[in-house]
C-alpha cells in the first residue's frame, strides 16, 4: 500500500482539488511564501528535537517476547535484475560495502568482515510514516564504528547511503534508492548497519544483506540494500539534491516527526 500510494504521488503529480478551499490549500502550499512557512515548521521540529536529544538518549528497547508476530516490509521487497539475484543466490559472498567520500581511509568490506566487528543487538519499534508500527530485533555494527574506521575528514557533514534497489528506471540510472543522515544521528549508539533480524539473517524483503537502522526517525530513512556509504559535505549534488529518494519527491529530510 505504501508503495502504491507513493507511486501514485510519483506519477500522478497533484490531482485537481475537490472543493475550492482544498484546491486552494493544494495550490498555495507550492507557492514560495507558504512553502517557506511549511519548511519553517520542519526546521522548528528539527531544532526542538535536537534540543531534547542533546544528551543522545537511547530509544526504548523491548524484550524479545515483545517482538511483533509479523513485520511488514517498507518499500522494495526485492531489487529487480540479475546482479542482485546472483548476489542473493551466492548469499552475498561477493557483495561488498564501500565507504568513501570525505574519509581518510576508504573502505571495502565483505559481509564477513562486517560481522567480525563488535555487534549490537536491539529490539526496537519501526514506525512507518503512514502510521503503522512493528517491533523487531536487529543485529548489526554501529555505523559510528564503521565511520571511525574510515576516519571522516573534518568537512564531512552528512552520511549518504546508496542502495541496490532501483525505484524508477531512467536512462542515466539515477533512480536508485538513497538516503542520508547527519552526524548527529550517524554516531548515535543505536544507529546500526543491520545484517541480522529477529535472530536470523536479514531477510531479502527487509534489505539483505545490509540495512540502516536509524531509530529516532521513521521508516523511509532506514535505507535497505545498502552497498555504498558516502561521507559528504553537502547533499545538493547528490541525486535530486534533497538528500534521499523520497526527499527528492517532497518528503521531509528530517523525519523524526
Residue ranges that bind another protein, judged by CB under 8 A: 1-2, 5-6, 8-9, 12, 14-19, 22-23, 25-26, 29, 37-38, 40-42, 44-45, 49, 52-53, 57-60, 62, 66, 68-72, 125, 127-135, 215-218, 246, 249-252, 256-257
Please state the φ and ψ torsions of residue 40, each to the nearest 5 degrees. Answer: -65, -40
CB closer to another protein, 136 vs 140: 136
CA distances from 74 to 59, 123, 208 (A): 20, 18, 13
Do 157 and 234 form a contact (C-beta atoms < 8 A)?
Answer: yes
> Which CB atom, from 97 or from 167, has the smaller least distance to another protein?
167
In whole angstroms, the minimum distance from the beta carbon of 59 to another protein comes to 4
Tell me which residue of 175, 154, 155 sits closest to 163, measured CA to CA: 175
Pairing of strands 133-142, 192-197: antiparallel
Q: Per residue, what are the HEC states of 135-204?
A: EEEEEEEEHHHHHHHHCECCCCCEEEEEEEEECCCCCCCCCEEEEEEEHHHHCCCCCEEEEEECCEECCH
131 vs 171, beta carbon nearer another protein? 131
The distance of closest approach from Cβ of residue 25 to another protein in the complex, given in angstroms and rounded to an integer, is 5
Alpha carbon 26 to its chain centroid, in Å, reads 28
∠ CA 8-9-12, nearest 5°, is: 70
Q: Which of 90, 89, 95, 137 is nearest to 112 (CA)?
A: 95
Residue 247 and residue 238 in contact, taking contact as beta carbons nearer than 8 Å? no
CB of 89 to another protein, least distance (A): 29
In terms of CB distance, is 49 or 115 closer to another protein? 49
* Smallest separation, CB 192 to another protein (Å): 15
Asked whether the beta carbons of 65 and 198 are under 8 A apart, the reply is no
Give me the least distance between CB of 234 and another protein, in Å please.
22
Q: Which is nearer to another protein, 21 or 89 (CB)?
A: 21
CB nearer to another protein: pick between 6 and 115: 6
Cβ neighbours, 10 Å, residue 54: 9
Nearer residue to another protein within complex by CB, 27 or 155: 27
Amino acid at each position: 500500500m505504501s508503495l502504491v500510494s507513493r507511486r501514485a504521488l510519483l506519477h500522478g503529480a497533484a490531482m485537481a482539488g475537490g472543493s475550492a478551499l482544498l484546491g486552494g490549500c493544494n495550490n498555495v502550499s507550492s507557492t514560495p511564501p507558504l512553502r517557506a512557512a511549511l519548511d519553517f515548521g520542519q526546521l522548528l521540529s528539527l531544532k526542538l528535537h535536537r534540543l531534547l536529544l542533546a544528551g543522545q538518549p537511547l530509544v526504548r528497547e523491548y524484550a524479545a517476547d515483545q517482538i511483533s508476530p509479523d513485520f511488514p516490509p517498507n518499500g522494495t521487497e526485492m531489487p529487480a535484475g540479475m546482479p542482485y539475484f546472483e548476489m542473493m543466490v551466492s548469499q552475498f559472498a561477493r557483495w561488498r560495502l564501500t565507504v568513501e567520500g570525505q574519509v581518510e581511509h576508504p573502505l571495502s568490506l565483505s559481509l564477513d568482515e562486517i560481522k567480525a566487528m563488535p555487534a549490537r543487538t536491539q529490539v526496537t519499534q519501526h514506525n512507518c510514516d503512514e502510521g503503522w508500527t512493528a517491533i523487531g530485533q536487529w543485529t548489526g555494527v554501529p555505523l559510528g564504528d564503521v565511520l571511525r574506521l574510515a576516519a571522516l575528514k573534518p568537512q564531512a557533514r552528512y552520511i549518504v547511503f546508496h542502495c541496490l534497489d532501483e525505484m524508477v528506471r531512467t536512462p542515466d540510472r539515477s533512480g536508485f534508492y538513497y538516503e542520508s543522515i547527519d552526524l548527529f544521528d550517524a554516531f548515535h549508539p543505536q544507529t546500526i548497519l543491520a545484517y541480522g533480524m529477529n535472530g536470523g539473517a536479514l531477510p531479502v524483503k527487509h534489505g539483505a544483506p545490509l540495512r540502516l537502522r536509524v531509530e529516532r526517525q521513521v521508516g523511509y530513512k532506514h535505507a535497505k540494500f545498502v552497498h555504498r556509504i558516502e561521507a559528504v559535505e553537502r547533499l545538493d549534488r547528490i541525486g535530486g539534491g534533497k538528500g534521499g529518494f523520497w526527499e527528492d519527491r517532497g518528503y521531509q529530510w528530517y523525519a523524526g516527526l
